Structures are given as C-alpha cells and as structure tokens.
C-alpha cells in the first residue's frame, strides 16, 4: 500500500508539474500575433492566411490569436524586406512568396528559373517531395520555421500593345517585373525592357501607358480587372510559378508548447491545401473559366503551341544556366529529376 501511495504521489506531482509548466508557457503567449501577407482576402493568397489564422484560433481554443496584415503593411509595403523583418521579430508569422524571399535565401530562386516547371504536376513534385524538404531546410537555416506550402500560381504575360507569340514580339517592350535580378535577366534575354516597381506603382504606370505589360497569376488579372488598364493581350506561357510558404518566427515558435506547435503546423498544412485549390480554381477545369472571363472582357488570349513555347525556352537558357550555379547545381538537378519523374 505504501508503495502504491508513493507511486500515486509521484504521478500526481508529475501531472501538477506538467500543468504548471504548461501554464507558465502559456502565460508567455502574446495576446495577438502579427501575420504578414502581400495580398489579403479575397485573393487565394489572402484566404490562405485567413484560413490558417481561423484554424489556429479554433484548434487552440483561443490561446493563439492571429491578426492579418495584408499589403506587407508591417514593413511599409516593401515585399523584399519581409523575411528579414520576420527573422528580426517585427513579424510573428507569414505566408510568404518564394520570389520575395529569394534575396535572403538563394535556394528560393529555384522556382523563378525560366521554364523549369511545365505544369502543376511538376510543381507538386517539387514542393511535396525531397526538393521541398531541402528548401525548408534552407529556410530554417536562414532563421525562420517553415511549416507548409501554398501557392500563388503560374505567372502569365499581359500587355497593351499586341499578341505575343515569339521572343521577337517582346523586343523593346517595357514590362513591369518584381524586384528580383533573375526576373530582370529573363526579360532582358527575351529582348524586353524590364522595369522593376511595386504593384502600387505599376497600376498607374500601366493605365497611363508608361509601362506596356506585366506578368502575374491569372486570378489577379480578372480580380483586378486589368483589362481596364489596357492589358488586353494575354500570353499563357507558364514560365514560372510562385509557391508560398507558411512560416513562424523562431522565438515565437519556441515560446509555444509542443502541443500548440503541432496544432499550428497541422493548421498550416490544412490551410495550404485549400490555398493551392483556390489558386488553381478557374484554370484546372476543362473550360478554364478564368480565361473565358478574360476573353469576354475583350482580351485576346494567346495559348502558345509547344514549338512556340520552346522558342522562349531556348532564348532564356543562358539565364537558366547562369542562375543554376547561383542557386546550387545539385538542387536544380534534383528539381529537374523530380519534374521528369512527374511526367512519366
């Protein structure tokens, strides 16, 4: 009996200690966590973040409350500073673009290699396989905790001048690109005049004709009614995709209990699956409703043949080769192998 009482006493003490430690840990929780997003709801990107925040609040019974800050408003709209701010603790959490974080994490330039990924199957082979794990290891090493993937879609080309079917058609055209040297190299190789600017600056530039065209996912074309700013020619070339990554600041991550960390991670995985489905909606269906909507608004839609697309691939191969070494030849080779496997 005495032995049993001793065991019972030890068990109760251990339970009390665990409860106390959990209570102490949770007392260090913030009343609210700041999540940075470039785009807010109702875009697929913004919805990815909202779904994550809602799931976390529900599953932690309100222990972790997250507020969305779209427009990267926590850093005055400077997308390329987002990862640095996350690492420094200005931002607690983010659903971030591989493009925007590539200046700080060179491996993320993989997804921006021109014409690396031909389709969604190839993209899934990267993010959901060993390459995705290698990318997450790079993000972790750079100073943030990566949890799951979402997606901002393949980026298509639009302009106000003419239908683009060959690299020659792009010669001399002013194309707005994001602030990444790889994008500038790609469009320079195609004979265009790449112009780096924020999206806030791009819209009036497109409307006035100061800039001829831009590249972005198709859902943005229809959502932002880009036909109203002169973008009446669309070329679907799928030259690169923009996966999104769910991350948490490491100090924040370490402040949570192991159970809550698992909840936040699973919520990110679940939200990411929904975000991917939202980003592809209107494009994976047989009749591609988003393209039909664009055409109904007066846009001329050019769907490149395999031979036409190959001309763009050939024109950008020197850029691909240059950046392959910058990114890491082993990682690019692994990506090429994964994509080839997805096509069998």
- Token readout for 156 is 């298509």
CA-nearest of 147, 286, 152, 295 to 227 is 295
Phi/psi at 124 (nearest 5 deg)? -60, -35
The confidence score (pLDDT) of residue 200 equals 81
Phi/psi at 285 (nearest 5 deg)? -75, 155
The confidence score (pLDDT) of residue 199 equals 82
Q: Omega of the bond prior to 219 within 30 degrees of 0, cis? A: no
The angle that helices 258-280 and 44-59 make with each other, rounded to 10 degrees, is 150
Phi/psi at 88 (nearest 5 deg)? -80, -10
CA-nearest of 136, 131, 137, 143 to 104 is 143
The confidence score (pLDDT) of residue 42 equals 94
pLDDT per residue as tens, the chain (344 positions)? 555 555 555 555 555 444 544 454 567 999 999 999 999 999 999 999 999 999 999 999 999 999 999 999 999 888 889 999 999 999 999 999 999 999 999 999 999 999 999 999 999 999 999 999 999 999 999 999 999 999 999 999 999 999 999 999 999 999 999 989 999 999 999 999 999 988 888 989 999 999 999 999 999 999 999 999 999 999 999 999 999 999 999 999 999 999 999 999 999 999 999 999 999 999 999 999 999 999 999 999 999 999 999 999 999 999 999 999 999 999 999 999 999 999 87
The angle that helices 317-327 and 306-315 make with each other, rounded to 10 degrees, is 60
Contact 240, 115 (CB under 8 A): yes
Distance set, CA 247 to CA 15, 21, 120, 150, 201 (Å): 32, 25, 23, 11, 28
CA-nearest of 245, 293, 267 to 50 is 267
The confidence score (pLDDT) of residue 196 equals 93
Distance CA 70, CA 36 (A): 6
Distance CA 71, CA 83 (A): 14
Q: Which residues contact 42 (CB under 8 A, 6 or more apart)?
A: 223
Distance CA 276, CA 284 (A): 11
Burial (CB count <10 Å: 0-12, 13-18, 19+), residue 32:
exposed
- HEC letters along the chain: CHHHHHHHHHHHHHHHHHHHHHHHHHHCCCCCEEEECCCCCCCHHHHHHHHHHHHHHHHCCCCCCEEEECCCHHHCCCHHHHHHHHHHCCCCEEEEEHHHHCCCCHHHHHHHCCCCCCCHHHHHHHHCCHHHHHHHHHHHHHCEEEEEEEEEEECEEEECCCCCCCHHHHCCCEEEECCCHHHHHHHHHCCCEEEECCHHHHHHHHHHCCCCEEEECHHHHHHCCHHHHCCCEEEECCCCEEEEEEEEEHHHHHHCCHHHHHHHHHHHHHHHHHHHHHHHCCCCCCCCHHHHHHHHCCCEEEECCHHHHHHHHHHCHHHHHHHHHHHCHHHHHHHHHHHHHHCC
Q: Which domains does the chain have, with CATH numbers?
A: 30-153+242-280 (3.40.190.170), 156-240+285-326 (3.40.190.170)
CA-nearest of 324, 254, 309 to 113 is 324
The confidence score (pLDDT) of residue 11 equals 52
Other C-beta atoms lying within 10 Å of the C-beta of residue 228: 12
Strand partners, 249: 144
Look up the pTM and report it.
0.91
């Amino acid at each position: 009996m005495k032995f049993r009482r001793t065991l019972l006493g030890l068990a109760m003490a251990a339970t009390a200690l665990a409860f106390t430690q959990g209570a102490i840990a949770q007392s260090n929780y913030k009343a609210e966590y700041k999540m940075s997003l470039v785009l807010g709801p109702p875009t697929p990107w913004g919805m990815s973040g909202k779904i994550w925040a809602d799931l976390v609040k529900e599953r932690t019974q309100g222990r972790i409350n997250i507020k969305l800050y779209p427009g990267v408003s926590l850093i005055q709209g400077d997308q390329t500073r987002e990862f640095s701010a996350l690492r420094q603790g200005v931002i607690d959490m983010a659903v971030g673009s591989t493009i925007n974080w590539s200046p700080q994490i060179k491996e993320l330039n993989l997804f921006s290699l021109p014409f690396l990924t031909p389709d969604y199957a190839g993209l899934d082979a990267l993010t959901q396989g060993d390459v995705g794990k290698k990318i997450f290891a790079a993000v972790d090493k750079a100073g943030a905790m990566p949890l799951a993937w979402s997606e901002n879609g393949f980026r298509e080309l639009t302009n106000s001048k003419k239908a683009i079917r060959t690299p020659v058609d792009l010669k001399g055209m002013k194309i707005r690109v994001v602030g990444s040297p790889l994008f500038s190299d790609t469009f320079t190789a195609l004979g265009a005049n790449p112009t780096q600017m924020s999206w806030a600056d791009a819209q009036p530039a497109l409307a006035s004709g100061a800039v001829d065209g831009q590249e972005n996912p198709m859902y943005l074309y229809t959502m932002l009614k880009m036909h109203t700013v002169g973008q009446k020619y669309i070329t679907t070339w799928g030259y690169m995709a923009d996966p999104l990554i769910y991350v948490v600041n490491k100090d924040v991550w370490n402040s949570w209990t192991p159970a809550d960390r698992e909840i936040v991670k699973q919520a990110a995985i679940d939200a990411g699956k929904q975000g991917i489905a939202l980003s592809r909606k209107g494009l994976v269906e047989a009749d591609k409703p988003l393209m039909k909507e664009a055409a109904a608004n007066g846009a001329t839609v050019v769907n490149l043949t395999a031979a036409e697309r190959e001309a763009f691939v050939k024109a950008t191969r020197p850029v691909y080769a240059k950046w392959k070494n910058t990114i890491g030849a082993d990682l690019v080779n692994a990506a090429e192998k994964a994509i080839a496997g997805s096509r069998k």
